[in-house]
Structure formats: C-alpha cells, structure tokens
Amino acid sequence: MMKSIAMNAIGGFFDDLRENNVLNRDELLRVGEGINFIVNRTKNLVNDLSEKTQTAGKIFVDHFFNSKKQLSLKSHPGNKDDESESTESSSSSTESEDESEETPQEAKASQPSDKLKLCPRDHFHKLKTTRADEIYPVMEKEGRTRLALIICNKEFDCLSNRYGSENDLFGMKDLLENLGYSVVVKENLTALEMEAALRQFADRQEHRFSDSTFLVFMSHGLLDGICGTKHAEQNPDILHDDTIFQIFNNRNCQSLKDKPKVIIVQACRGQGAGSAWVTDMGEASAYKCDGLLQHCIQSDAIKKTHVEKDFIAFRSSTPHNVSWRLDTDGSLFISQLIYYFKEYSWCYHLEEIFRKVQHSFEIPKVLTQMPTIERVSMTRYFYLFPGN
C-alpha cells in the first residue's frame, strides 16, 4: 500500500513536468527508473523506522499524510486498515447539468452552509404537482413514520478497531434525523446479529406509514460483503449483500413495497489501491407456476409484482478496492456524503446527489477511491424535500 501511495504522490509531479515541456518522454523514462528504486524502498523505510522507535515511525507517517498538497480535507494522521479510509475532499462541485425545474437560488443562499438546507414549501408543492408521474410520492409530515437503520461496527475480535467511525455514526444519525427519519442504531454486531437486526427492522409496522427508508452500514468489508465483529481469515463472519436485498424485497417486506430503499455502505471491497498508471497514448421457485396461477386465480387481491424493486445502493469504493478513514475525523466517503446531502437535497433528487459525491472523487489523489452506485431498481426520482 505504501508503494501505491508513493507512486500516486509522484504521478502528479510527473504530469506537471510533461505538460510544461520540462522533460520529454525519454527523459521521464530515465528519471522513472530512479524513482522506481526509491518507491520500492518506501515500505522497507517505514518498517525500519517503526522497528527503531515508535516515535520515529509516527513522525514519518505524520509528515507523509499531513502534507497540505496531498490532503485537502483536514491535516490529521491517517490510518489504513482493512477498510482503509483517509482524506481529501472537495468543498464544491459543479451544478447538475439538466434539471428541468427552476430552483429558488435566493432561498439556498440565505441558509447556513453547514446546516441542512430546507426546501421551500412552494418549491416542494410545485415539483410534487408538476412531476407527480416522475417522482416517488412523499407523505405529509403529519402521521408519517419514517425509519432508518445504522449498523456501525467499530470494535473487532481479530481485525483492527475502526477508530474515527464514531464521527461517521454521529454525522449520519444527525443527517437522517434532520431529514425526518427516526434512526435505529446498532453497534458491534456479528454477521448473524446484523441479519437479525435487519429482519427485526424490516418487520417494523412504522414502514406502513412511511414513504422510504435508509439502511447504513459502516464496517470492515470484503468483496463478498460486510464483516461482522468476529471475522477472521480462517473463520469468516460476513453479511452478504444478497441477504440485505432479500430481507427488504417485495416478497419479504411488503410494507416498503413501491417505496425507495436506500442502502449506503462504508466498507472496503478488497485490498486494491483503486488507481493505475496510464499513458495518454494509445428464492426463485415462487414464480415457476406463474402460468398456472394466471389461469386459476381470479382475484384482484393478488397481483404479480417485481420481487426486487425501488432499491439503490451507494458504496464507498469500487469492487476489489479499499476505502479510506482518518482515526480522528472518520471516513472521507461519509463526510462527503453528508456535505452534499446538506447542500443539495433541498433541490436535487437522490441519484444526482450521489453523482455529486462521485464527482468530488473524480481526480485521483494520493489516497484514491471511487464511490459506486449499484443495483439500482428505482423507477422514479427520489426527492427528500427536507423540511416538508
């Protein structure tokens, strides 16, 4: 991993040299041979310093991770674990390209930047009326019982503890509560305990009088799923992605049928660095008797529906690659997600907000990750309309 960090750090410098015609291709190749030797020694250097003294190792790592040129969010010591999160943030992003509705910019400008911006009532009613066939219905606040679930694993038996995740938990809970959800928090669960918590949450009667739900997972992770607190290489403890979708699909959770189900996952999906050097050249049996049912059942009380529908998953990194977290501040993905929700959920639909988060990660830096939008079965736009 130190190799990857070093190569990324040097890459930007090489790009500048080439773009400004300081070095040509042959000269860059010769310099690169020397750089490769340095990079190959980077990991050994860190190990040697750490073995000599913890103080020397800390000074080196602090200096490396706290460079203002490398990290633009905050300068705090970074920590790479199996979920490996760290730093860097973009405080601004381009506006959505083609939103058909007009947005009251004066209302946006008048609200504090660090608070959730509320949607003006007239804007809410305009969209709700003019785009009724395109957006998910939003229940009125009176009598609405929105629920959200956060599962945050910080302490593990065999894996490293996820220091800083308490900041992610606090931030997400605060955001969801401000969006009108009653938040259920579960911490430090095994895979079986996570599954039990999900089933219990899916059975909540409040979903009948809700228009949507959020499921947020923060833990170590692998390509196969989310790690429970007892996970070890020899004894896997993993909550698989399919289990989450099955528990909340239309067969098993009819209270959330035709309602948005948003899954947010902060976890690694492998050990890859998520960057590369490139050159400018160059249960299925339920419907097996569907035909028979069509001929035998003549009742409006029973109708066919999609088993999996109205889901969207937003994950902190691409498959096989790591996510980054700061011991002191929490994960970059969650902090960016919270920022863009607060800034834009008053006027943009969910997928557009997710794209804004992705855009903030678009240019690879020293520590690289790219959030992904996956397994989307939403058939309409989902607006949160905070304050309404």
Q: Which residues are marked as active site?
A: 220, 268
Residue type, 364: P
**At residue 188, what are phi and psi to the nearest 5 degrees?**
55, 65
Residue type, 278: V
The pairs formed by 250-253 with CB atoms below 8 angstroms and a separation of 24 or more are 250/305, 250/306, 250/307, 250/308, 250/309, 251/283, 251/286, 251/307, 252/202, 253/202, 253/207
Tell me the torsion sign for CA atoms 351, 352, 355, 357: negative
HSE-up of 299 (CA within 13 Å, CB side)?
5
Angle between helices 165-178 and 332-344 (to 10 degrees): 20
Q: Extract the runs of DSSP E, i.e. beta strands, from 36-118.
A: 78-79
- d(CA 370, CA 100) in angstroms, rounded, equals 28
- d(CA 71, CA 352) in angstroms, rounded, equals 26
**Cα 40 from chain centroid (whole Å):** 32
Q: Extract the runs of DSSP E, i.e. beta strands, from 62-103.
A: 78-79
- d(CA 120, CA 64) in angstroms, rounded, equals 45
Strand ranges of the sheet holding 261-266, from the earlier edge strand across to the other edge: 182-187, 147-152, 213-218, 261-266, 311-315, 372-374
Q: What is the number of other CB atoms lying within 10 angstroms of the CB of residue 176?
A: 22
Residue 330's DSSP bridge partners are 326
